[in-house]
């Protein structure tokens, strides 16, 4: 799994370098090693199954031989089949014993891992002394005295290892701007970690007063909307929010995004440029409104123009009264008069530790040079036209099938395990196993029947003959158990190998936009969860119904064997007629339960994938003040979620919805068929996905659907629906809805029940009672001559019939649940593929091959997915041979998108008039 995580975590790099085949070979080689270990485990399980199934046969053979040959006792049907029933009762616990032991071992390993995790060293809270913010004049915000810091040792922790900070000492007052500078590896980020308490304090003291906000060197972006990334759980304050956007130069970028600040950011910020990621992370820190800001290189990812504006508007403007630690390499900022304190580092030691000014200087400082407005206007991007606006949703909900698993999935899995030929081999081994087992039981019945008709005692030779035949049949049955186990293991490993390779191929050949729209957690879930189920349990469960069904078939075959005359057929018909009703309802019951279990299994797999859930409607208490509104929709845009692979939205949308309804208003919604009337109702209820805008509803909501919703209860209970009964209000409602006359016609008035009544059936008790009556009738009335041994055998099998049918139902449920994992794996093996993935198109260079390269763009336009706004539009240029070209532009201008196009990993969309 580590290789899978690493591969799909850097899939963009893999595709840029066309390393798909190389990494596929590496991944499949590691999978082959894993399957080798699984094969050893599975074959050991087959041997274990052989031992457990053969143990009762060995015990019964030895017991009967000792009882008859050594103790010289007569074997009667009562003794033999009572003993067999006890031996069979021991078989299930013995069969479950290895699985129980395995679960105990796995539990022990899991507990050991949890114990190791819980005992792992945590952040030492004593590294930093934290106090409340002090606003008194001259008070300090951060003080480090004789500080020595080191990253924790990997040994006993008694001494430090790796990089260390030595002799760190400074005192920073409230409102100071502290610049931290130094070469690569000098210790700037380590000093930030020490101030946060993340780096182990070896000596000295660190005291921080007030709340701390941190900007990491690598921008930390979550798979949420831009607004949610900035707010990060804090309450929305429009004034502060707009001030932060302005200070971090995000206003122009939001105009370019398809849904403004409601645009969803992909995993790891895939649809943002490096500068945009940095500014969104900086905006989150600024919105936190902390007292101390630790900013680790926030200006490194933006161009010089934006650097100046952010320094003026954010550092010297919005955060002018805050204490700031700013890590930078910019000499202009280091030498700025706005800086209060400079800390220079070299090899973990202070090279410069100097106070250069007071905090008041930067309150009047707007930028390093010139006006911020002038600076930013020189690079102001062109706003996106309204025709290009999209829904802003990049990560869609994971696709989930409904209903039964399709036959196509079953057939593809059948092909994966080896096709019909291997299934025939498995069926033959299963029939031979069950045939030998039934034959041995028949032989035992025949043996005890002879003892019943003959005098007590038998010759030793004859006893040896019966015991040898019985032991031979039992040994043959046990051998087929081993053969079946080997066949099942081989077919299961073959299916796992095929499905793993198919899903890997499908993912590696899919376009990059698939990975933009699907978080890596979903992909890891398919490999870790679904492939594990396919490998370990799916085929074992899939083949198990053969075992149980053949056992059940043996019971009924045994009865039919003895009832083939006319009288016997009549009796058998009476017997099975009693079983007809429960058996008739059994398939429908099984089908219903299977569908329910499959839906639960799909939902379980679906919920394991991370999803973002936001509120579509703001709900408030009812306001009775004069002129207050009840419902308000502002700039509303709504859409039904896509039912496809989650790469783009589909279906009906509501656009530009805006209205305000006061309390007590009667609002009429009208329009033609399909105009969106019901969709608007769903939007007000929060059932329709809100793409943009706000919906606010005040008070409790009652809803009448287009299709009346009636429950299987009385009329009164349908009307009350759990509410307390109020006679006056109830009668008023009946009168208003014209129901009074109708209730007089109902047989029980408003107590009349609606719907069908259920009928309770006890199929198991009917089946056992009918079987007992049938056997007693056949023997007592003399219709058939049944030996005591056969009667005992029938009853022994009958005792297991209910358990066999119950086991068959359980295994069918579990089998179809496990095939859901096969369905999910096959879904990823059939993904849309990139263009030019056919190996037949690869050609070797010929003699007149072009010796000099040239790149020519002509009216190239690019977007992340169809119908989304263009991020490159009508780009045309030519690069001649031996030319070295640099692609420049303001942050967010499209340099990274050009890289995607050059590597042929982007979708280039053409337009009819371009």
Q: The domain that contains 806 carries what CATH number?
A: 1.20.1560
Give the C-alpha distances (Å, rounded to integers) separating 828 from 16, 239, 905: 21, 46, 19
Residue 508: CB atoms within 10 A of its CB come to 22
Whether the pLDDT of residue 712 is over 80: the answer is no
Give dist(CA 545, CA 74) in Å, integer.
Answer: 38
Assigned domain for 859 exists: yes
Which of 800, 829, 858 lies at the terminal end of a domain, its last residue? 829
Question: 850 or 15: which carries more pLDDT confidence?
Answer: 15
**Pairing relationship of beta strands 855-862 and 653-662 according to DSSP bridges:** unpaired
Looking at residue 456, its pLDDT comes to 47
Residue 636 in tokens: 């509303």
How does 6-29 read in b/e, with b if 16+ C-beta sit within 10 Å? ebbbebbebbbeebbeebbeebee
> Are 417 and 499 spatial neighbours (Cβ–Cβ below 8 Å)?
no
Task: Give per-residue pLDDT as tens, 619-657.
Answer: 888 777 766 788 999 888 888 764 333 333 446 788 889
Q: Give percent above pLDDT 70 in the chain.
A: 65
Residue 698 in tokens: 């005040």
Q: Do 806 and 850 fall within a single domain?
A: no
Looking at residue 755, its pLDDT comes to 57
pTM for this structure?
0.54
Assigned domain for 392 exists: no
Looking at residue 295, its pLDDT comes to 93
Give dist(CA 905, CA 864) in Å, integer.
Answer: 10
Q: Do 381 and 436 fall within a single domain?
A: no
Which of 386, 419, 451 lies at the terminal end of a domain, its last residue? 386
Q: How many domains does the chain have?
A: 5
Which of 328, 354, 386 lies at the terminal end of a domain, its last residue? 386
Q: Do 690 and 730 fall within a single domain?
A: no
Residue 370 in tokens: 């010139």
- Among residues 138, 125, 172, 129, the alpha carbon closest in space to that of 292 is found at 172
Assigned domain for 704 exists: no
Q: Do 191 and 339 fall within a single domain?
A: yes
At residue 846 the predicted structure's pLDDT band, cuts being 50, 70 and 90, is low
At residue 730 the predicted structure's pLDDT band, cuts being 50, 70 and 90, is confident
DSSP state of 706: S
The dihedral of CA 60, 64, 65, 67: what is its sign?
A: positive
Average pLDDT over residues 247-255: 88
Helix (H) or strand (E) holding 180: strand 177-182
Q: The domain that contains 354 carries what CATH number?
A: 3.40.50.300
Question: 724 or 838: which carries more pLDDT confidence?
Answer: 724
Assigned domain for 760 exists: no
Q: Do 594 and 692 fall within a single domain?
A: no
Q: Do 519 and 641 fall within a single domain?
A: no
Average pLDDT over residues 846-865: 73
26-40, 61-75, 437-451, 838-852: range with highest mean pLDDT = 26-40
Assigned domain for 788 exists: yes
At residue 387 the predicted structure's pLDDT band, cuts being 50, 70 and 90, is very low
Domain range for 884 is 846-902
Task: Give per-residue pLDDT as tens, 172-224.
Answer: 988 889 999 998 888 899 999 999 988 888 889 999 999 999 999 888 888 88
Q: Do 459 and 482 fall within a single domain?
A: yes
Give dist(CA 334, CA 338) in Å, integer.
Answer: 9
Whether the pLDDT of residue 291 is over 60: the answer is yes
Assigned domain for 515 exists: yes
Q: Do 647 and 504 fall within a single domain?
A: no
> Are 171 and 143 spatial neighbours (Cβ–Cβ below 8 Å)?
yes
Q: Do 814 and 897 fall within a single domain?
A: no
Q: Do 448 and 475 fall within a single domain?
A: yes
3-state secondary structure of 616: coil
Q: Do 462 and 577 fall within a single domain?
A: yes
At residue 765 the predicted structure's pLDDT band, cuts being 50, 70 and 90, is very low
Average pLDDT over residues 407-432: 80
Q: Do 578 and 693 fall within a single domain?
A: no
Average pLDDT over residues 866-894: 76
Whether the pLDDT of residue 555 is over 60: the answer is no
Assigned domain for 683 exists: yes
Assigned domain for 216 exists: yes
Average pLDDT over residues 555-573: 46
At residue 114 the predicted structure's pLDDT band, cuts being 50, 70 and 90, is very high
Radius of gyration of the CA atoms of the chain, in A: 38
């Amino acid at each position: 799994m580590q290789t899978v995580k690493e591969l799909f975590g850097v899939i963009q790099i893999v595709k840029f370098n066309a390393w798909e085949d190389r990494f596929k070979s590496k991944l499949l080689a590691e999978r082959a090693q894993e399957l080798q270990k699984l094969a050893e485990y599975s074959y050991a399980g087959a041997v274990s199954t052989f031992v457990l199934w053969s143990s009762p046969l060995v015990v019964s053979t030895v017991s009967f031989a000792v009882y008859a040959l050594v103790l010289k006792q007569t074997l009667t049907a009562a003794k033999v089949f009572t003993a067999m029933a006890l031996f069979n009762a021991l078989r299930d616990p013995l069969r479950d014993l290895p699985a129980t032991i395995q679960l105990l071992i796995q539990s022990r390993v899991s507990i050991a891992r949890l114990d190791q995790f819980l005992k792992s060293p945590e952040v030492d809270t004593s590294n930093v002394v934290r106090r409340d913010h002090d606003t008194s004049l001259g008070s300090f915000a951060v003080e480090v005295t004789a500080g020595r810091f080191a990253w924790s040792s990997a040994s006993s922790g008694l001494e430090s290892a790796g990089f260390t900070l030595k002799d760190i000492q400074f005192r920073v007052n409230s409102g100071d701007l502290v610049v931290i500078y130094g070469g690569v590896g000098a210790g700037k980020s380590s000093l930030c970690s020490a101030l946060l308490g993340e780096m182990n304090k070896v000596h000295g003291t660190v005291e921080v007063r007030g709340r701390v906000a941190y900007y990491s060197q690598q921008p930390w972006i979550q798979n949420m909307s831009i607004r949610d990334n900035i707010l990060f759980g804090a309450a929305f304050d429009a004034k502060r929010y707009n001030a932060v956007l302005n200070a971090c130069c995000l206003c122009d970028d939001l105009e370019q995004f398809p849904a403004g600040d409601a645009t969803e950011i992909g995993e790891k910020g895939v649809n943002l440029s490096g500068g945009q990621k940095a500014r969104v992370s900086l905006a989150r820190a600024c919105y936190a409104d902390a007292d101390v800001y630790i900013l680790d290189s926030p200006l490194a990812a933006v161009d010089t123009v934006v650097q100046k504006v952010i320094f003026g508007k954010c550092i010297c403007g919005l955060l002018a009264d805050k204490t700031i630690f700013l890590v930078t390499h910019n000499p202009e900022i280091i030498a700025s008069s706005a800086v209060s304190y400079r800390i220079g580092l070299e090899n973990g030691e202070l090279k410069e530790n100097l106070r250069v000014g007071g905090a008041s200087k930067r309150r009047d400082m707007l930028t390093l040079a010139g006006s911020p407005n002038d600076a930013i206007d020189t690079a102001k991007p062109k706003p996106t036209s309204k025709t290009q606006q999209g829904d802003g949703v990049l990560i869609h909900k994971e696709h989930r099938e409904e209903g039964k698993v399709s036959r196509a999935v079953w057939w593809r899995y059948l092909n994966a395990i080896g096709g019909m030929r291997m299934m025939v081999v498995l069926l033959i081994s299963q029939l031979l196993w069950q045939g030998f087992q039934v034959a041995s039981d028949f032989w035992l019945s025949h043996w005890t029947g002879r003892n019943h008709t003959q005098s007590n005692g038998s010759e030793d030779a004859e006893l040896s003959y019966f015991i040898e035949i019985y032991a031979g049949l039992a040994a043959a049955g046990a051998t087929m158990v081993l053969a079946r186990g080997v066949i099942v293991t081989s077919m299961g490993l073959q299916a796992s190998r095929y499905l793993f390779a198919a899903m890997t191929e499908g993912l590696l050949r899919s376009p990059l936009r698939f990975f933009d729209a699907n978080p890596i957690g979903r992909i890891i879930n398919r490999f870790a969860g679904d492939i594990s189920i396919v490998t370990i349990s799916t085929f074992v469960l899939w083949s198990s119904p053969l075992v149980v069904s053949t056992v059940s078939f043996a019971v009924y075959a045994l009865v039919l064997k003895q009832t083939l005359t006319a009288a016997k057929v009549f009796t058998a018909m009476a017997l099975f007629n009693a079983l007809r009703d429960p058996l008739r309802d059994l398939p429908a019951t099984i089908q219903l339960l299977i569908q329910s279990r499959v839906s639960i299994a799909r939902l379980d797999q679906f919920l394991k994938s991370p999803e973002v859930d936001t509120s579509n409607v703001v709900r408030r208490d009812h306001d009775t003040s004069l002129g207050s509104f009840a419902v308000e929709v502002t700039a509303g845009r709504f859409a039904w979620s896509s039912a496809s692979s989650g790469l783009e939205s589909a279906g009906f949308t509501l656009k530009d919805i805006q209205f305000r309804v006061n309390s007590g208003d009667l609002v009429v919604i009208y329009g033609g068929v399909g105009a969106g009337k019901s969709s608007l109702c769903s939007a007000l209820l929060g059932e329709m996905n809100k793409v943009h805008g706000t919906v606010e509803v005040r008070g409790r909501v009652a809803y009448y659907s287009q299709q009346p919703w009636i429950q299987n209860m009385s009329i009164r209970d349908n009307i009350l629906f759990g509410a307390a009964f109020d006679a006056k209000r109830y009668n008023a409602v009946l009168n208003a809805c014209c129901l009074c006359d109708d209730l007089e016609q109902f047989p029980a008035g408003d107590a009349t029940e609606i719907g069908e009544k259920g009928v309770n059936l006890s199929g198991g008790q009917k089946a056992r009672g009918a079987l007992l009556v049938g056997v007693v009738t056949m023997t007592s009335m003399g219709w058939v001559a049944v030996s005591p041994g056969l009667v005992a055998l029938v009853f022994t099998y009958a005792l297991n019939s209910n358990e066999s049918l119950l086991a068959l139902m359980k295994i069918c449920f579990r089998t179809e649940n496990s095939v859901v994992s096969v369905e999910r794996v096959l879904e990823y093996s059939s993904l849309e593929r990139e263009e030019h993935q056919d190996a037949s198109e690869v050609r070797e260079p010929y003699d007149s091959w072009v010796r000099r390269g040239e790149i020519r763009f002509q009216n190239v336009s690019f977007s992340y997915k169809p119908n989304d706004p263009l991020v490159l539009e009508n780009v045309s240029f030519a690069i001649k041979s031996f030319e070295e070209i640099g692609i420049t532009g303001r942050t967010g201008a499209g340099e990274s998108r050009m890289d995607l196009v050059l590597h042929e990993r982007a979708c280039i969309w053409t337009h009819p008039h371009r």
